[in-house]
């Protein structure tokens, strides 16, 4: 992720351990969109349906 | 949304720490940050007063000690006004209870979180935890983003981040850590929380002990686990 250190001169190399550094990250949730976990997918699990008689009279 | 993570050095003399603290608040204002994040056990000029405040009400030898919640909020609100944006901070109170607070200069809404593990006084120990848990895991709702907060070791267990999803999907998780961590372990914890919750995960911490071998870091991952 891109960042800026607001109070230090920045070198080009990745540096995430500067004491008293104020790191600014610009977060945009539109760039973070994807399918969320769909928990109901578990119902399609072949093993769940493998023996429908289990625990049923 | 512009989020500032402050990697605070708190081993310096008080005068120098105070100067840097106010410079940081002013930098947040000058750069129009939307949120300024401090580490667990962060330092502020009113450090000594805050050490003597009780975040909760405590029953000690049949006496009830009233909490100093309002005084704590007033202190942090003042800082957020200088920064001109909400701040996220974490400290221990006089009995060792470790809390995190989101305080905004322009809204009354306050979000709090209590540390669960790796602490002498866990939020699990408060008497009304069953009720409090609804507040503890209610995300911050800010500028269209849902934000969850955890403290330090709570980020090593999936439960405490995942529980925010009881209120729906969240966009950002922020972990406030003490500092001096094993880089490999801590970066993987943060990445895992980002991936399993499909959200941004940010983390900052402090340098609090010159003798420690491990360093302190800021971490940021998006929901794909990209650093």
Q: B62-120, pLDDT tens digit by residue?
A: 778 789 999 999 999 999 999 999 999 999 999 999 999 999 998 888 899 999 999 99
Residue B62: CB partners within 8 Å, gap ≥ 6? Answer: none
**A31–chain B Cβ distance below 8 A for any pair:** yes
Question: What sign does the CA torsion over B81, B34, B219, B195 have?
Answer: positive
In chain B, residues with a C-beta closer than 8 Å to the C-beta of A30 are none
Residue A51 has pLDDT above 80, yes or no: no
Lowest-confidence pick of A39-53, B88-102, B189-203, B207-221: A39-53
Label residue B62 left, alpha or beta by phi (over 0 means left) and psi (-120 to 50 means alpha): left
In chain B, residues with a C-beta closer than 8 Å to the C-beta of A25 are 2-3, 5, 202, 220
How much is the mean pLDDT over chain B?
94
Residue B208 has pLDDT above 60, yes or no: yes
Cα radius of gyration rounded to whole Å, chain A: 24
| Predicted complex: ipTM over 0.85 | yes
pLDDT of residue A35: 52
Structure tokens at B152: 């330090």
Question: Nearest CA of chain B to the CA of A57: how many Å?
Answer: 35
Residue B187: CB partners within 8 Å, gap ≥ 6? Answer: B217, B219, B227
pLDDT of residue B135: 94
Whether residues B4 and A18 touch (CB distance < 8 A) is answered with no
Closest CA to B192 of B145, B156, B146: B156
Lowest-confidence pick of A42-51, B50-59, B65-74, B180-189: A42-51
pLDDT of residue A39: 47
Q: How confident is the model at residue A54 (pLDDT cuts 50, 70, 90)?
A: low
Residue A6 has pLDDT above 70, yes or no: yes
Residue A36 has pLDDT above 70, yes or no: no
Q: How confident is the model at residue A44 (pLDDT cuts 50, 70, 90)?
A: low
Which H or E run contains B3?
strand B2-9
């Amino acid at each position: 992720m891109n960042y800026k250190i607001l109070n230090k001169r920045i070198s080009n190399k990745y540096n995430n351990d500067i004491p008293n550094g104020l790191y600014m990250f610009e977060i945009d949730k539109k760039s973070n969109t994807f399918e969320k976990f769909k928990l109901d997918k578990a119902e399609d699990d072949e093993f769940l349906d493998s023996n429908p008689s289990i625990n049923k009279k | 949304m512009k989020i500032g993570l402050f990697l605070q050095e708190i081993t310096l003399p008080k005068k120098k720490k105070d100067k840097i603290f106010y410079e940081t608040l002013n930098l947040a204002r000058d750069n129009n940050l939307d949120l300024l994040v401090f580490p667990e056990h962060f330092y502020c000029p009113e450090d000594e007063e805050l050490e003597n405040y009780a975040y909760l009400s405590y029953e000690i030898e049949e006496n009830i000690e009233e909490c100093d919640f309002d005084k704590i909020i007033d202190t942090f609100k003042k800082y957020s006004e200088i920064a001109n944006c909400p701040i996220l901070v974490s400290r221990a109170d006089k009995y060792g209870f470790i809390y995190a607070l989101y305080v905004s200069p322009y809204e009354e809404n306050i979000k709090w979180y209590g540390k669960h593990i790796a602490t002498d006084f866990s939020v699990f120990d408060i008497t009304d935890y069953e009720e409090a848990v609804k507040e503890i895991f209610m995300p911050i709702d800010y500028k269209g983003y849902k934000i969850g907060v955890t403290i330090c070791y709570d980020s090593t267990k999936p439960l405490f981040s995942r529980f925010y999803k009881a209120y729906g999907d969240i966009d950002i998780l922020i972990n406030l850590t003490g500092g001096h961590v094993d880089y490999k372990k801590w970066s993987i914890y943060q990445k895992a929380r980002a991936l399993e919750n499909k959200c941004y995960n940010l983390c900052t911490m402090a340098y609090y002990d010159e003798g420690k071998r491990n360093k302190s870091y800021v971490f940021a991952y998006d929901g794909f686990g990209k650093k």
